[in-house]
Amino acid sequence: MGLAAASRRATGLVSLAALGGLVACSSPSGGGGDPAGASQASGGGTYTIWDPYPQHDRSSEWVKLLETCGTQAGVTIERTAYDTTDLTNKALLAAQQGNAPDVLIVDNPVVSTLAEAGVLTTADENKLDISAIAPNLLAAGQSQGRTYGVPIGANTLALYYNREVLKKAGVDIASVKDWTSLTAALQKVKAAGKKGITFSAIGTEEGSFQFLPWFWGSGARLTKLDSPEGVSAVALWTDWLKKGYAPNSVINNTQTTSWQEFATGDFAFAENGTWQLAGAKQAGFDYGTIPVPGKDGGTAPAPTGGEFVGIPVQKDVARYPASQKIVTCLTSGANSLTTTTTLSYIAPTEQVRAEQVARDPELKVWVEAVEAAKGRTSDDLGTKYPKISEPMWGAVQAALSGSKSPQQAMTDAQAAAASATQ
């Protein structure tokens, strides 16, 4: 999908527009096509596909693949592209009216909301083969033990670094393996007259998305925001600001503005996503990437961005076999390599990930990050996630601004999350 962030809150069919949204992979608004007026004849005929990729027009490889998959299934494809939030709302409304599209592609945190609303069929019901999909990626589309669709691919977060800045500061990137060594590197960078690290801590889902690798990397769980581990993650960021290792601008930074800071060439590190690879290559300085380190080492679980392709519930069950063929076509074999390359994703299967790295060795770090990644709605949080995420990003804001201590901020956040999810 595209590369900006949007927000959503899952609170029902009408107010879903507020659901904390596609941080890593939201799209520019736009799109076209008839959302509900296509032929619904069983067998053959026209099949509708809705996706969140309005940046890909009819001449794109993505749309060509959709049409090819339709042809192979013996049907004609009518595709409509929407902005992510708009797509979710329209999918819920269409389901209410009994006029859902045949195939629906949505951001992974939305899947559980649509599933609980009765919009989607399960992978088992339509015999979608998910056996080769990485379990951590599947988990983002699971609710109450059932899987709703197939992930197209994933992106996530890692740390970009500026080799020249680190060299001048006397930092060997191989030494950065945990929070202690990363903080030591930032101290050296500041002492050398350069800037340490930039990230997005804005008070939206985008801020939660960027905070989660540090939160999960501490060993914390979203069901207990104020655990010692969770508090330590907030304290890490707060300490960086107090010591000048990170700029105060992170409090209002989006992922885009944070990237713009890194692109100046003054910063040693930036937390950002796969979607910035093209920008990194155009930055004009020598860069590299490492996974976000866990508190005590290893790769921290970063949140997964990316979409699931699913089959909405239809009154006419005779339509399902052709829909199943379309989904299978989009997500299997060589087509998966085409899809993930076109959409700038890491593939959901080990075989295709290996092919991606063979073509572009620079993706190795991103494959490692995706393999350690975690869905925001995993652990069966489902629609509870946005009710936890909002107090969490509020806590981070409060601690970074100095209005609360990390402990008080997370204590208050846990109380708010517990009340909201009862």
Are 336 and 222 members of one domain? no
Which of the listed residues 330, 347, 371 is the one where a domain comes to its end? 371
| pLDDT (tens digit per residue) in 16-49 | 333 333 444 433 333 333 333 333 434 579 999 9
What is residue 41's predicted lDDT score, i.e. its pLDDT?
Answer: 39
Q: Which residues of the chain have pLDDT under 50?
A: 1-42
With contact defined as beta carbons under 8 Å apart, do 217 and 301 qualify? yes
CA separation for the pair 388, 20 (Å, rounded): 10
- What is the rounded distance in angstroms from the CA atom of residue 116 to the CA atom of residue 50? 20
pLDDT at residue 359, as a whole number: 94
Nearest in space to 101 (alpha carbons), one of 149, 55, 156, 34: 34
Tokens representing residue 269 in the block: 């590190």
Pair (294, 309) in one structural domain: no
Same structural domain for residues 296 and 410? yes
**pLDDT confidence of residue 85:** 80
What's 69's domain CATH number? Answer: 3.40.190.10
pLDDT at 333: 84
Instruction: Specify if 136 maps to a domain.
Output: yes
Give the model confidence (pLDDT) of 149-188 as tens digits.
Answer: 999 999 999 999 999 999 999 999 999 999 999 999 999 9
Domain-embedded: residue 148: yes
Asked whether residue 260 falls in the same domain as residue 345, the answer is no
pLDDT at 59: 94
pLDDT value, residue 180:
98
Q: Is residue 320 part of a domain?
A: yes
Q: Which amino acid is at 98?
A: G
Q: Are residues 164 and 118 in the same domain?
A: no
Examine residue 259 and state whether it is found in any structural domain, yes or no.
yes
- Count: domains in the chain: 2
- Give the whole-angstrom CA distance, residue 119 versus residue 19: 17
The answer to whether residues 243 and 345 belong to one domain is no
Q: How far is CA 275 from CA 1, 162, 344, in A?
A: 9, 17, 6
Same domain, 76 and 172: no
Q: What is the reported pTM?
A: 0.85
pLDDT score for 43: 54
Instruction: Give the domain range for residue 126.
Output: 46-155+305-371
Q: Are residues 136 and 230 in the same domain?
A: no
Q: Answer yes or no: is 27 within a domain.
A: no
Residues 298 and 333 both lie in one domain: no
For residue 380, the model assigns a pLDDT of 86
